Structure formats: C-alpha cells, structure tokens
Amino acid sequence: MQLISWNIDSINAAVEHKSARGEMTWDVLNQIAARQPDIFAIQETKLKAVGLTKKQAQTITDLFPDYHIYTNSSTARSGYSGTMMLSRQEPLSVDYPIINAPGDMDLEGRIITLEFENYYVSTVYTPNSGSGLARLEERGAWDDAYRAYIQALDAQKPVIFSGDMNVAHEEIDLKNPKTNHNSAGFTDQEREKFSALLRAGFTDTMRSQYPEQTGLYTWWAQISKTSKINNSGWRIDYYLVSERLAPKVKTTAVIDTGLRQDHAPITLEITINK
C-alpha cells in the first residue's frame, strides 16, 4: 500500500495556479496524482468553512477519479488550517475528532481519521507555537491531548498517521540546530512531547529507515531565497505507525519538489492487509 502526505499550503493556490509558486504547487499535485496512492493526506488546505468550492471539488475529482474525498475545514476561522484525505478504498468510518484541545484548536479542522478493517489511517496538522512562542503552552496541551487520542485508537487497531507535526525532533532533523534552539518547532518542550509520542508505542518511519542520514528535510523557509538551494531545511513532516506495524514498512521518502520551498510531500509504502 502506498500512502502520501503533504502540507499543500492552500488547495486554492494549487487549483488556480496563477502565480509561479501556484504553478509549482500544481505540478507537484499532478505528480502525486500520477502515482495513484492508496491514500493521500493533505494538511493546511485553507478551505472556507463550508469546504471545497464547486471548482475545487471538480478539479480534485478530475485529478483523483474514483477516490473518496473527506475534508475537515476550520469553522473558527475560515480559510485557515484544515485537512483533507483521499482514499481509493471506502473506509468503514470517518472521524473528525474533538480531542479537548485548548482554545479554538478543536475547531480548526486539524484531524481526520479513516477506519479500515485492520487499521486506522489518520492525518494531523499540529498547531504552530507561533511568533515569540506565544502559543507554546497551548501547543503543549494539544500534544498531550493528541497523544491520548492516538493511544486510544491504537488500543483498538494499529494506526498509521501522518502530517505536518511542526517539530524537528532531534538536532539531525534541521540544518541549524544551535541557532534555532528556542525557535518554534525546536524548543525542548516540543521535542520532549514528540519523544513522549514515540514512547507511547509509535515509530518514526523515516528516521527508523535512515537513522543517521543528515540533510533529510521536508520543509524549507520561504522567507529565505536560498533555503532550498542550500538545503537549509527542517524535517517536520512525518509518517508514524504503531510499533507492531513497523516491520511491515517497506520504504519512506521525500518527494523532490525542485525549487519549490515550504513543505515537500512524504511517502510511505507498507505491506498490510486491507
């Protein structure tokens, strides 16, 4: 089974592709469609609260015919955050969970979970701690609530989950760890919360496959014109699986997006009974 996960940073920018960046995003989306993944998870859709527009829905359906499409849009702030999942196989159930996160986080469309006979597949867009770490305390509460949610799923069936988790776990996971030690996404608290998630019974598939590989990143800052050219990036997008699924993982990879900065899609191939 092939799965792909991507923080697209606006479905509409891809569908309209009227700018140079939009064209690059559109090209990547077409590359993913050509791969025909079994499940495609998307974060930061930035859809309106009501979901896909008619044009957006038609474009996605044309690219991914015969897929089942599920969206979870922010109702707290339209056009913000949001997630989407596309699945070739119809799931037994679909959940847009409330995890008792602080503030408006439960209203920001951050999680979708698909249930299949032998496993769950879930995607998440983890809140950013924000400028000046203004949201760090709330982010920590989110991490605790999310970990409890994933553990509850895992108690029923093994889980495959992916997304932009907004944390580089170890120093190897970003180009400049020393100068970013207190930056959002690389604070001691955020890193420890991710460690706690792993200790709860889950495997970071990419680091498991490439335990010592440096320069393995999934995000490059748009604010820096040379971040992608110099590979000055961060690894903040993940595929995690229940530990009992880890031996079934075949490959993981980052899809090459050329000069496009921001997030790159990640892939997971796993042998599992559907």
Residues assigned a catalytic role: 125, 164, 263
Question: From start to end of the chain, where are the E strands?
Answer: 2-7, 39-43, 68-72, 83-87, 93-95, 111-115, 120-125, 159-164, 202-204, 219-220, 237-242, 249-254, 262-263, 266-270
Classify residue 125 as exposed, middle or buried by CB count within 10 Å of its CB (0-12, 13-18, 19+). buried
Could you give the count of Cα atoms lying within 13 Å of 45 in the half-sphere of its Cβ? 33
Separation between Cα atoms, residue 128 and residue 125, nearest integer Å: 9
Known binding-site positions for Mg(2+): 7, 44, 164, 166, 262-263
Known binding-site positions: 7, 44, 164, 166, 262-263
Separation between Cα atoms, residue 252 and residue 270, nearest integer Å: 9
